Amino acid sequence: MKKYYVLILLFLAFLPPIIINAQDSANIFHPTKPAVPKDNFWRRLSVGGNVGFQFGTVTGIMISPEVRIRTIDQLYVGLGFTYEYFRYRDYYYDYKNNEYLDFSSNVYGGRIYLRYYLRSIFHSWVGNLFAHAEYEYLAYIQPYHYDPAGNIVDPYNNTLSPGQSTVSYNSILIGGGYSQPIGGRVFMDLLILFNLNDAYYSPYSNPVFRIGVGVGL
């Protein structure tokens, strides 16, 4: 009988190491860390854009898709295409016919920008802040052209006559914003920008507010 007690004690003595080894082989005490996705060209890309609406005396619809890529650290380079439709009610006044005239047009253009996030400096919500610098080119057609002898005036008292003319405009916008993650690789950008070339034909009034949505590939 004593021989059986000795065997039982030996079995119990070796049982804990056996259990521990079995559990450790299942990574219970040393769990495996999830694999970090490899950084490659496609993971650096994200697509998105801005959509805007305005109704009332000035009616406007804006669509601006974009694609961007992360280059060095948290510096992104982006390219975008812009289309806008706008309509100003009673924009011109015709002295000859004594009536107000609306002004509507389609705007086409493109933009390139640099954006730097603070994620490599701050590891809290502050890291979602970013600085933004942008160059944008826009072009649209006016239904009237400048004519000192014309009988139509715009809000700036320029005299005009019927006849289409193409207007092109270059904007330099700087500012910043905040990027809010929504879920997965989807995010929302809130921007406030200032146009440094705020002149007669500028389509913007400072400051310029934008809201955009994007998704990483």
- The residues spanned by each domain of the chain are 1-34, 45-216
CA distances to 99, 168, 190 from 209, rounded to whole Å, are 34, 22, 8
- pLDDT-wise least confident of 9-18, 141-150, 172-181: 9-18
Q: Could you tell me which residues come within 8 angstroms of residue 208 by beta carbon, excluding any fewer than 6 positions away?
A: 173, 175, 191, 192, 193, 194, 195
Confidence of residue 135 (pLDDT cuts 50, 70, 90): very high
CA-based nearest residue to 50, from 214, 212, 181, 177: 212
pLDDT > 70 in the chain, percent: 79
pLDDT at 206: 79
Using one digit for the tens of pLDDT, what is the confidence trace for 82-99? 998 888 888 889 988 899
pLDDT at 202: 72
Whether 104 and 87 have beta carbons less than 8 Å apart is answered as yes
Give 38 or 215, the one with higher predicted confidence: 215
pLDDT at 33: 52
pLDDT at 124: 82
Q: Indicate whether 46 pLDDT > 50.
A: yes
Whether 138 and 82 have beta carbons less than 8 Å apart is answered as yes
pLDDT at 45: 86
The SS3 assignment for 208 reads strand
Q: For domain 45-216, is the CATH number 3.40.50.300?
A: no
